Structure formats: C-alpha cells, structure tokens
Structure 1
Amino acid sequence: MKKITLLFSICVMLCCSLSQAQGIGYGFKLGANISQINSFSFDIVNTAGDTPREGFDTLESSNLGFAITFFAEIPLSERLAFQPEFMFSSQGNKFEGLRYEYLQLPLALKINLNKLFINLGPQAGLKVSAFEQSEDFSSFEFSGFGGLGYQFTDNFFAEVRYTIGFSEVFEDDAAIELPTFIAGSNETNVDNVLTNASGKNSYFTISIGYRL
C-alpha cells in the first residue's frame, strides 16, 4: 500500500507541475523492449525428489516485448527540458513464467543538441501483470535510464534507451513453477520449481515517437 501511495504522490506532483508550466509539448512513443533479468541467479529443485528435468534453456534468454509511452515536455531553457512520462512496459526473460508488465513513471532530463537529444533520469514502476505472480515477484521497482534520440522533423523522432533496475525482481521466498511437457501426453509436469532467485531488470527500448 505504501508503494502504491508513493507512486500516486509522484503522479500528483507531476500534474501540479504541468498545470503551472508554460509552453508544454505532448506526445507518445511506440517501441520494442529487448529485456533481460540482469545478474540472474537461481536454483531449480524438484518437489517430488527427482533430479530437476532438462528443458529450461530459455530461463536466461532475453525477451522481446513492447512499450507504449505518453509524455509531456516542459522547457527549462533553450536546450534543457523536463520530460515526465507514463509508460506501459513488458519486461522479463524469454521463459513464459518470467515475463511480466509494469506501469512505469520515467522522469527525464532532456538535453537538446540540434537534431540529436539525450535524456536520462530515475524511474519508478508498479508491476501490473498476472495476479498469480504476486507472491513471487516484487510489485514495485526503482531504476535509472539513459537514452539517445534523433529528431527527424518537428513532430517525428526515434530513440534508443537503456534502463537498469536497482531493486530486486523477486520476493525473498519466491518459488516459481517450471512446468514441462510429459512425453507422449498433453499433460505437464509441475514438480520443478525455481527458488533462491535473484536479479534486477534491464532492457533496451527502441522506439519511434510523435510530438504534438
């Protein structure tokens, strides 16, 4: 509850800033996320007492997801702007049980260099994916990002951004089922469990955007 209250408070402060600022620009971005759980470590145990089965080669593989972002651009000077954003972001690894989505709140300082621009800042996120993940995955994350973009016209631009998490993805007592298909049937075996998991989010976002 405290984490949700913090995220809501940040949103309120942003709204207050937007209501008082002059010359604000607005826009949106559509992009692809190439994500991975950084410094990922874990154990696999079999609750039936057997040797953990094979077939988990995608546990550490990166995932291709998507991101949708709405932003406001508040000029601070000729070359500097404050750019608060509201983003839906799919993240995690390739294995289905390690994919999840966040509502993110990036707070960017944007540096304009003619056609090129740089943005960097902190980011707070709230996990909004499947309810059954709530016991194993942290609901809140804090991260930082840096990006480089190019302004093709007054309206259209492209951007590449890298985000790295500072908080743990998993709860301390996470026990994530790793189902495998049973040979010769349509049933799955759920005796395999990922435990002692540790890692932080990291991802590249490649996006195109339109400034109103």
Structure 2
Amino acid sequence: MKKLIVAAILIIAGATNADAQLLKFGIKGGVNFANFNGGVDGIDYSGRTSFHAGAAAEIKLFQNFSLQPELLYTSQGADVDGVGDFNLDYVAVPVLAKFYIISEKLSLEVGPQFSFLIDEAEEAFDNKSFDFAAAGGLGLNITDNFFAQARYTIGLSEASKDAEVKNAVFQLSLGYFF
C-alpha cells in the first residue's frame, strides 16, 4: 500500500510539474517605433516613438512549437507634417505561432494581430476602430523567466477612412514569465 501511495504522489507531482511547463503566464513591455504605410500624395509622415505593455501566455504544444497569445496596450500612429500628431492607442491581441530555432532559447514568432482603437489624439482623419495586422519577429529566452523580443507588425487593413494608410510598428520588448 505504501508503494502505491508513493507512486501516486510521484505521478501527481510529475503531472503538476509538466503542466507548469506547458503553460506560462507573464508580463511584457517595451518601445514602439510606429509610422504609417501608404498615404496621400503630398503629405509626409514621420515615425513616432511610443510604448506597449501587457500580458502574455505561452502554451507549449510540441517540443519546439508553442502558441503565444498576448493582450497589449499599444500606442501607434505617426506624425504628419502640417497636420498634427496622430496618436492611436489600441488594445491589441496578437496570437503568435512560436517556432523554436534553438530549443527553449531562440524562437521565430509569426501570426495575426487584432487591434481595437481605444483613443485617438487628433480627429483630422476618421480613424477606423479595428486594425488587422500580421506580426513577425524573434524571441530570446534570456533565462527560464526573462525574455526579449523584436517584432515587426504591418497593418493589413487601413487605419483611416479618409486616407489610405496602414499602421506599421517595430517593437522591442522585455518580459517575465512567472
């Protein structure tokens, strides 16, 4: 009977440890280098530097493949000469496929991003409330808990009803998985 109890405890402990490795939650934040792609002839757009912050999860599906959904507050947009600064604040939900190139260290991350406009500083353009984008980049697990990411997100839908512009953002992030 003692052997059966010890075996059950070991199985439960092993399953609990395995579950902890299959699902991780964390926080992340960093800098955005944002601009618009496309636009109206004669209007010059210049990039703006802003930030992003939020939560991330990693769901390990296979040895070198995970899904990484995130929930981020991200400030994007561009500065437009002669018109003003377009500060577009979104709640973004990227859902990334994470392919580990070097097991548990270096990963290639690609997937869609769904963004919902929550605030706009200027109202010269009639901005759309939803932005669909493609995201891709690299992730580096510095330790078991700390990670860094570099990502480029390119808008696939137009950010404004008035001008043919799409969001483009390069992000550098640092994060911590609990």
Please state which band the TM-score falls in when normalised by the shorter chain: 0.7 to 0.9
Residues 153, 24 of structure 1: CA spacing in aligned structure 2 closer, same or farther, 3 A cutoff? Answer: same
Q: Does 1:205 align with 2:171?
A: yes
CA distance in 2, matches of 1:135, 1:60: 14
Report the CA distance between 1:40 and its aligned residue. 2.3
CA distance in 2, matches of 1:103, 1:145: 15
Alignment of 1:55-204 (within 5 A): 59-95=44-80, 96-112=84-100, 113-114=102-103, 115-130=105-120, 133=123, 136-171=126-161, 174=162, 197-204=163-170
RMSD: 1.9
Q: Residue 42 of structure 1 contacts residue 198 of structure 1 at CA under 8 Å; is this kept in 2?
A: no
Report the CA distance between 1:94 and its aligned residue. 2.6
The percentage of aligned residue pairs carrying the same residue is: 36
Q: Whose relative contact order is higher, 1 or 2, with alpha carbons under 8 Å and at least 6 apart?
A: 1
Report the CA distance between 1:99 and its aligned residue. 1.5
Q: How many residues align?
A: 153
CA distance in 2, matches of 1:133, 1:88: 20
Q: Residue 142 of structure 1 contacts residue 167 of structure 1 at CA under 8 Å; is this kept in 2?
A: yes
Q: TM-score, structure 1 length as denominator?
A: 0.67
5+ residue gaps, structure 1, are 1-21, 45-58, 175-196
Code of the residue aligned with 2:77 in structure 1: it is G
1:85-111 Cα distance to aligned partner (Å, 9 max, x none) = 101100011344311111111011111
5+ residue gaps, structure 2, are 1-18
